[in-house]
Amino acid sequence: MDKICPCGDKLYKDCCEPFHQDKKTPTTPEELMRSRYSAFALKNIEYIDRTMKGPAREGFNAEGLKANLDMVTYEKLEVLDSELKEDTGTVEFKVFYSVNGENHYFQELSTFIREDGRWYYYDGKVKD
């Protein structure tokens, strides 16, 4: 039985799996953000690592992330806004998750850049 992609309504094999397996490249900031959300939900640290640059890269700690992901269950992604201007883009979204059965969410405005035809997560700001 095929499973639904963590980022939404499509089947995983028709949505984020090709990105995670490096068979396809996201063509918009929103596609990249959705594929990164799915990577967090599926604990695909390698994909998260290879899809970021700049300030996001500077603070990245794979071991710390793995420890965090082992405690979190990602429940739902809600995209609020998405903008694209040439080689930069932003996506505002909410992530709903639980830790030890306790529900939480955060809202973020993420910035993405395109280099050599590929999109990368560049920076994000959590909104109050």
pLDDT digits (tens, 9 = 90+) for 98-109: 998 999 999 999
Domains plus CATH for the chain?
12-127 (3.10.450.50)
| Residue recorded with tokens 């030890």 | 100
Considering the chain, what percentage of its residues have pLDDT values greater than 70? 99
pTM: predicted TM-score of the whole model, two decimal places:
0.95
Considering the chain, what percentage of its residues have pLDDT values greater than 90? 94
Alpha-carbon gap, residue 53 to 27, rounded angstroms: 17
Residue 74 three-state SS: strand
Summarised one tens digit per residue, pLDDT across range 2-30 is 899 999 989 999 999 999 999 999 999 99
Q: Provide the pLDDT for residue 2.
A: 82
Alpha-carbon gap, residue 42 to 57, rounded angstroms: 20
Q: Provide the pLDDT for residue 1.
A: 57
Phi-psi region of 9 (alpha: psi -120 to 50; beta: other; left: phi over 0): alpha
Q: Are 107 and 124 in contact (CB under 8 A)?
A: no
* Residue 71 confidence class, pLDDT cut points 50, 70, 90: very high
| Residue recorded with tokens 């500077």 | 58
